[in-house]
Amino acid sequence: MKVKANGIDINYQIDGPDGAPWIVFSNSLATTTAMWDEQAAGLKDKFRVLRYDQRGHGGTSAPGGRYPFDTLLADALGLMDALSIGKAHFVGLSMGGATALGLAERHPDRFDRIIVCDSPCQSTPQSSAQWEDRIKVAQEKGMEALVEPTVGRWFPAETVAKNPPHLDKVRAMIRSTPVAGFIGCAAALADHDYASAVAAVKRPVLFLCGEKDAPAPAMKKLNEKLAGSRYVELPGAGHISNMDAPAAFTKAIRDFIAL
């Protein structure tokens, strides 16, 4: 389904019973709502599960240009407004994780519990340069040139060697990402910082990360800076931890919301 919000058409999917608490899932770069299939299946018994494609991804509009990260926050709020969702739990991974923390900082009245997954929630000079390199690849060679390098970064070497079915699912999502959307969101990732203000967050936060994901040390530091937050590490999982360890990921969310 699609709805007009924040000036674009946002693609979304809803699972679960009317009247149940809302839980919103926000995708990583170069993925779609399909990355959350296992979580939607595992949580729709007790929650109204809303998944959406971030700007430039899946069925959502992909305007040209570089996207400011705050625009991604405004998209999420605009979608909630369009669907008359007053308050929700919010889960985001990687790009979606930074979206989650930014929303918790800027709009705490709209959210209950926040789950930030596999994201340091800020760019660095080194990461910014890496994003600019990937933008150049996308511009010059298209998304196909980014498929295997991305899979190699996102998943542990032993997972890539075994090549389980979810890797082909991820490859298909990367391949199908509009170049304009990748460039726009990669530019947002190259210039954002929600980590610096983490200590001011008033909502309950779970930092959830794959054991073998590069942002794990940064996420431990975020947890240390935010009093009362929790940190859960998923053994053996890489960057797309919800697909590497779907049952453990979903359980961590359910347990945190039940606290």
Q: What is the mean pLDDT of the chain?
A: 98
- % of the chain beyond a pLDDT of 70: 100
Q: Are 226 and 201 in contact (CB under 8 A)?
A: yes
Tell whether the model's pLDDT for residue 259 goes beyond 90: no
Residue 100: both structure tokens together: 């989650």
- What does the pLDDT average to over 36-64? 98
- In 3-state terms, what secondary structure has residue 218? helix
| The pLDDT value given to residue 170 | 98
R_g (Cα) of the chain, nearest Å:
17
- Per residue in 125-179, pLDDT (tens digit) is 999 999 999 999 999 999 999 999 999 999 999 999 999 999 999 999 999 999 9
Question: What is d(CA 3, CA 125) in angstroms, rounded to the nearest whole number?
Answer: 36
Q: Per-residue confidence at 45, pLDDT binned at 50, 70, 90? A: very high
Written out in words, the top-level CATH class of the domain with range 2-258 is: alpha beta
Confidence at residue 42, expressed as pLDDT on a 0 to 100 scale: 98
pLDDT at 16: 98
Kindly give the residue spans of alpha helices, DSSP state H, lying in the chain: 37-43, 69-82, 95-106, 125-141, 144-154, 157-162, 165-176, 179-189, 216-225, 241-244, 246-258
Q: Which residues contact 107 (CB under 8 A, 6 or more apart)?
A: 73, 77
Alpha-carbon span 138 to 201, nearest angstrom: 35
Q: What is the pTM of this model?
A: 0.98
Average pLDDT over residues 102-123: 98
Q: What would the pLDDT profile of 230-253 be if each residue is shown by its tens digit? A: 999 999 999 999 999 999 999 999
> Which of 243, 244, 240, 251 lies closest to 232 in space, CA to CA?
251
Share of the chain above pLDDT 90, in %: 100
What's the confidence (pLDDT) of residue 155? 98
CB 165 within 8 A of CB 243: no
pLDDT at residue 214, as a whole number: 96
The pair of three-digit structure tokens given for residue 190, joined into one six-digit string: 């190259």
Which are the contacts of 131, defined by CB distance < 8 A and separation ≥ 6? 123, 186, 187, 189, 190
pLDDT in tens, 74-87: 999 999 999 999 99
Query: Residue 11: what residue type?
Result: N
| pLDDT the model gives residue 89 | 98
Q: What is the pLDDT of residues 164-174, one digit of tens each?
A: 999 999 999 99
